Amino acid sequence: MPGDTLTREHVLGNVDEIPVGEGRNFEVAGRTVAVFRNHAGEVFASQADCPHLGGPLADGMLGGSTIMCPLHDRMFDLRTGSVLVGECGITVYPIRKAEDGTLLLSLDG
């Protein structure tokens, strides 16, 4: 219908591709996105590199809904993208886990 906007979801694969408590990078529509799976079974998605010096966030320490950059201890909230330790926040993306475990990511915000 005219005026309707549809959010396009990208299929990333199955949640089992990401070990519990870790992150993995995925290439999605020409950009790299870090996807995390915490011990509670929640999934989060963010930009792949730390805004400080480009550290690989997927290699960082995941705790609940926070990620700490492995290079210089910058910490971010994966629910909001807000910085907890450091100077600036990160971009986070809506992600959901379908009933069959398929991860679906939206880059539209």
Domain ranges of the chain: 9-106
pLDDT for the residue numbered 7: 64
Model confidence pLDDT, tens digit, residues 90-108: 999 999 999 999 999 999 7
Instruction: Give dist(CA 95, CA 98) in Å, integer.
Output: 10
pLDDT for the residue numbered 4: 41
Model confidence pLDDT, tens digit, residues 17-62: 999 999 999 999 999 999 999 999 999 999 999 999 999 999 999 9
What are φ and ψ of residue 62, in 5° steps? -95, 130
Domain 9-106: CATH class, spelled out: mainly beta
Q: Give the pTM.
A: 0.90
